[in-house]
Structure 1
């Protein structure tokens, strides 16, 4: 192999690694920590419940044992169920629900935003007026009304949040599509004869997706807190299923005598939301640095 060609191949093969290294080095200590913490939370949520020695819905000890009790590092609740097991199971349930809600909301909003921004005209106006109809009312009130109308369950809370969450993506993506369509390389592709769906899927959608991904990563923490809020007021998963918002709500009755029953789920909710929000900012830096 000629020397010049070998050097070219070496540079091409080394480019992805160098790009990843530069992206990681661009992050500050806090951003790196947030990404590691997010990975740890996801790992615990996936495999944690299978490693716990107790069931999250079956009593395993005396009632209201304090943290650091023998066999129960985080104590037990009013029914004698292990708090650590229920927190891990509740975190798994909340994260899975938040990811599903965010994914569905992003998919619906992205589709509507892409169609509106790309087609323009009367279709753009009609879709945006339809989107504004959902944005005109307080989101939490609509989510509560929908969840209450369907019935108390995690699914009804998820549906209520999806209904009020997708318009945010529709508005965001529509604006991004209008910006991308006006870029020189997209205009050049259109002049060269690229039209319709081919122009959309090859030049417009790939440029919009990084914004959607970053927004979705930032939204997961907010959705976790919204789900917890609906469960806290009794519109989420019914007891005794392990759900963080419901656990915090039930623990408020015993706050003066057993503070950990309410405080530990609340701290878990706040920690998950904070880590995912911070990690979303770090992901935005990584995507910008890698040129995605």
Structure 2
């Protein structure tokens, strides 16, 4: 009798391979963060050439690996390949908006967006710059929210000269929240919108995965935050030039709005809407 009630021997064949999901074909686009499964090396794609892909980790080390299926993204297997030509379609800006073909920068509006510092301004420019130029919105930085009241007194907001302000670490009970409340109750409060994100610094608005991290490091309150981050990552942090270089490394990992935390995205979009009301 040939009937086998129990089927084939479960130990026959490559049972390990059969239980492993097939890797997903994935274009090795620049700045894509992957893990090389065999070595555990994690980094962002910096070059694809001659059948290899070069990855750079958060310490600046670069290693080359063969293209293929030995990579992971968030624990899932992928097979890296040479990027294919993108299909033709309506282009989008880094913020995700549809690009306006042939659009020229609009003459600057009287309304403004103010951000706390240079790094905030550079991040907003990188992701929303194209949109802001079309809308004619200028972004300026305050060099600290402590100066906001004086800046507004000089600017003199009105219904046609609105001001949007993006503040770091705007959480209940903070100095920033008290300043925001004071502005809202002031004489120009109806023409000023102060919003913020909960992060200690705008650096944290960049998703940690863009740097090959699972989460941003926790820095003791006794240590200046940016210096603590650089120390944890093994980056120089002796002076302001080192901090500026560290920020450029982080900013260089940002390609589109998808690389930023939602807590920042929504606030910037809110400010743009506020200052572009005609």
> What is the TM-score when the length of structure 1 is the normalising length?
0.28
Is the helix fraction higher in 1 or 2? Answer: 1
> What is the TM-score when the length of structure 2 is the normalising length?
0.29
Q: Which has the higher contact order (CA 8 A, sep 6+)?
A: 1
